């Protein structure tokens, strides 16, 4: 059985009630016991004193016979209060079962307890010594009171206490169940609301305003999570739309080109040309798909494996070499600046891929023949690799979004065709930086644009 707050609270209520009732019951029982004993003792003492007074004036057997008669009539042998008179002189003895008093002992307060042989009753006793007078020797008067009614009262009190106590515990448990049910109602409502949420209604939120404080925090946290989910979901949907849009152009080119090629009889070189152009579109498609796969794997948290301590300037130089051919044609050049000795753990293939993307962008956006620079700058335990080029500035509002997938400052440029990227270049730079424990930044001021990524230094 699953643990339940309601059941647990009800059980705790019952335990609390049990403890409370046991304690009050015990105290009440003790008080009643004491009161009854005191009451008994008062009655006993009054009897004892009156009778002792009578006996104290007995000086001969004649008078003693009258006192005995009075004791008989006042307190019959089967009555609640009894008298016994102990004396060395058998004539002055009185009372039933005197033998029992051979083993009679008393408490410090003069009270005692005795059960007569052959009788169920037990008596609480008080005694008094009476000095000799005339013929009469010293005697001891003992008055006893039957404790049975007293015990009976206590017993029925205890019984009533137990019945009331158990009843109260059951009642408290029932009330506890009810109270917790009522108290937990907002929780039930909240969970019903949460269950009603569907992925298609991600803009829905839990009603947090009229909830008790204990739950409104929870609801707010939950709503926060929903908000982030919604954002992620929307990004995903936008990404899907972007992907479809991105694939549509090369596919349309492929279909169009193939249809034209097939529209009439063609020579072998003409078909070759058509296939060549198809191949270019297919390669473009493959490169988009590869980039997307790379980003998807990076998203799943795939960290760069096989990081090797590398001198960063060396890797930069090797990457720049690949671009020399293009640059030589236009008369441009790349300067390598900054810390030439700095080392960092790198996955060199990923590092070159990121730097190539930055260099491609720089060459593409810089005026032909201008100089580019790659700067290596250590900062706060990271190593920044920035690519700088002159050219038209990027408006500040675009800067934070440059690294988003498929984001382009000027979409028209792309649609005009040409062989630049498909808007994933900087997203890949960001993914590579993240895989190396780094981040990215972009800056464009005074006609100089710098786009940089970092890797965690050793
Ligand atoms: N060096 C740069 N100068 C100016 N704009 C740039 C530069 N690098 C990137 N950008 C802008 O950032 C956008 C995103 O770059 P990128 O992710 O590489 O996509 P792509 O190069 O395929 O357009 C580019 O479309 C361009 O508008
Ligand atoms: Mg690019």
Q: What pTM did the predictor assign? A: 0.61
**Residue of 290, 361, 365 with the most ligand 1 atoms within 8 Å of its CB, for mutation:** 361
Distance 368 CA to ligand 1 centre (A): 16
Binding site membership of 426 for ligand 1 (Cβ less than 6 Å):
yes
Across the chain, mean pLDDT equals 89
Binding site membership of 425 for ligand 1 (Cβ less than 6 Å):
yes
Binding site membership of 408 for ligand 1 (Cβ less than 6 Å):
yes
Question: pLDDT category, 413, cuts 50, 70, 90?
Answer: low
Binding site membership of 421 for ligand 1 (Cβ less than 6 Å):
yes
Binding site membership of 393 for ligand 1 (Cβ less than 6 Å):
no
Taking residues 194-210, report their average pLDDT.
Answer: 80
Binding site membership of 386 for ligand 1 (Cβ less than 6 Å):
no
Question: pLDDT category, 414, cuts 50, 70, 90?
Answer: low
**Could you give the CA distance from residue 348 to residue 354 in angstroms, rounded to a whole number?**
10
Which residue is closest in CA terms to ligand 1's atom 19?
A: 423
Q: What is the pLDDT of residues 283-292, one digit of tens each?
A: 989 999 999 9
Structural domains of the chain sorted by starting position, each given as residue range(s) with its CATH number in brackets: 5-159 (3.30.450), 213-297 (1.10.287), 304-456 (3.30.565.10)
3-state secondary structure 239-262: HHHHHHHHHHHHHHHHHHHHHHHH
Q: What is the pLDDT of residues 251-305, one digit of tens each?
A: 999 999 999 999 999 999 999 999 999 999 999 899 999 999 999 888 887 777 7
**Could you give the CA distance from residue 396 to residue 144 in angstroms, rounded to a whole number?**
109
Residue 75 has pLDDT above 80, yes or no: no
Distance 436 CA to ligand 1 centre (A): 22
**Could you give the CA distance from residue 319 to residue 54 in angstroms, rounded to a whole number?**
132
Q: Within 10 Å of residue 297's Cβ, how many Cβ atoms?
A: 12
Q: What is the pLDDT of residues 25-56, one digit of tens each?
A: 999 999 999 999 899 889 999 999 999 999 99
Distance 258 CA to ligand 2 centre (A): 29
DSSP-assigned states of every residue in 57-108: T--SHHHHHHHHHHHHHHS-TTSSEEEEEEESSGGG-BSTTGGGGGG--B-T
Binding site membership of 389 for ligand 1 (Cβ less than 6 Å):
yes
Distance 253 CA to ligand 2 centre (A): 21
């Amino acid at each position: 059985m699953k643990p339940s707050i309601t059941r647990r609270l009800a059980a705790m209520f019952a335990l609390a009630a049990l403890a409370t009732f046991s304690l009050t019951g015990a105290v009440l029982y003790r008080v009643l016991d004491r009161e009854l004993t005191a009451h008994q003792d008062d009655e006993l003492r009054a009897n004892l004193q009156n009778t002792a007074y009578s006996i104290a004036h007995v000086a001969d057997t004649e008078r003693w016979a009258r006192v005995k008669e009075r004791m008989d009539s006042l307190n019959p042998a089967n009555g609640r209060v009894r008298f016994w008179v102990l004396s060395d002189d058998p004539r002055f003895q009185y009372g039933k079962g005197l033998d029992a008093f051979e083993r009679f002992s008393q408490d410090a307060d003069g009270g005692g307890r005795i059960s007569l042989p052959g009788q169920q009753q037990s008596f609480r006793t008080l005694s008094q010594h009476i000095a000799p007078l005339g013929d009469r020797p010293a005697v001891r008067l003992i008055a006893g009171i039957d404790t049975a009614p007293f015990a009976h009262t206590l017993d029925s009190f205890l019984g009533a206490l137990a019945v009331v106590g158990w009843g109260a515990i059951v009642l408290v448990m029932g009330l506890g169940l009810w109270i917790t049910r009522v108290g937990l109602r907002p929780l039930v409502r909240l969970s019903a609301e949460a269950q009603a949420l569907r992925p298609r209604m991600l803009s829905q939120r839990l009603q947090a305003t009229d909830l008790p404080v204990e739950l409104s925090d929870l609801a707010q946290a939950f709503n926060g999570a929903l908000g982030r989910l919604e954002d992620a979901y929307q990004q995903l949907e936008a990404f899907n739309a972007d992907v479809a849009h991105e694939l549509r152009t090369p596919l349309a080119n492929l279909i169009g080109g193939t249809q034209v090629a097939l529209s009439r009889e063609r020579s072998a070189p003409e078909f070759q040309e058509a296939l060549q152009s198809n191949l270019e579109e297919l390669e473009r498609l493959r490169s988009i798909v590869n980039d997307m796969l790379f980003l998807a794997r990076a998203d799943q948290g795939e960290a760069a494996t096989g990081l090797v301590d590398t001198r960063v300037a060396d890797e930069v130089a090797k990457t720049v070499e690949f671009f020399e051919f293009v640059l030589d044609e236009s008369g441009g050049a790349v300067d390598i600046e900054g810390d030439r000795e700095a080392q960092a753990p790198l996955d060199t293939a990923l590092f070159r891929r990121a730097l190539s993307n930055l260099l491609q962008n720089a060459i593409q956006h810089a005026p032909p023949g201008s100089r580019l620079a790659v700067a290596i700058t250590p900062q706060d335990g990271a190593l920044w690799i920035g690519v700088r080029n002159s050219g038209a500035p990027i408006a500040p509002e675009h800067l934070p979004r440059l690294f988003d997938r498929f984001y382009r400052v000027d979409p028209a440029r792309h649609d005009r065709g040409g062989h630049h990227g498909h808007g994933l270049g900087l997203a890949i730079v960001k993914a590579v930086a993240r895989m190396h424990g780094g981040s990215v930044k972009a800056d464009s001021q005074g006609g100089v644009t710098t786009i940089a990524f970092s890797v965690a230094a050793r």
